[in-house]
Structure 1
Amino acid sequence: MVSQITSDVKISVESIYQPEYSNPDNLHYMYAYRITIENQSAETLQLLRRHWEIFDAIGEHKQVDGEGVVGQQPILEPNQVHQYASGCNLRSAMGYMEGFYEMQRLSDGELFAIAIPRFILIADFVLN
């Protein structure tokens, strides 16, 4: 697990290779990840957008932008936690993701970015 705190919001990420959904012979490697967002600030915040940078070991790079996370734009009260799971496919057995969330402080409407720490995507068989 990797974690990072930006502007009193802690992002933690766990990732896992999913061999049952992968097909290495066709350069299809599937990974799942779970993200925990902890609002450690004294303000109520809303997650509006996400931006991902996705890299794999064969040099491919993708950018993904979108509204919210898994169809939601969660509002987090002070000390509240939001967790969600999603997935990513690569064309290689290794890669990584990183990015940021665009958040809004509801008291004054200020927008700001929260870093999503870099996390590794690696197939179990690579480690043996």
Structure 2
Amino acid sequence: MRIGEVARQAGVSVRALRYYEEQDLLQAQRSTGGQRHYPESAVARVRLIQQLFAAGLPSRSVRLVLPCVDSGTAAPGLLDHLEAERARISERITDLAAARDRLDTVIANTRNPPPECTHDPK
């Protein structure tokens, strides 16, 4: 399967597929003319990569997870790594929620300035 067909079926850009190759997340065979050819399983692989990215994993973590998916066994330390990634994401969520709350306060004070505020909200 050629790169454009994989991209179309997986719903990603050709550029994304090239990036996945650069990151060692996806492999393609090359024709004598240099064109990439992927196995039929590449579409499912790309969808899995997309799911892992959507879960907040960076490419280095995805690179650790994929061989475990392929073999059906977890590599030593993988669970600890994934739990650390989860903690990192949870911390980021907490930070983003705090930033959102501060922004809500600014918006509320801009719409309805407290009496000590002297600026014109218009």
TM-score past 0.5 threshold: no
**Higher strand proportion (structure 1 or 2):** 1
**Higher helix proportion (structure 1 or 2):** 2
TM-score, normalising length from structure 2? 0.20
Does 1 or 2 have the higher relative contact order (CA < 8 Å, sep 6+)? 1
Bigger CA radius of gyration? 2
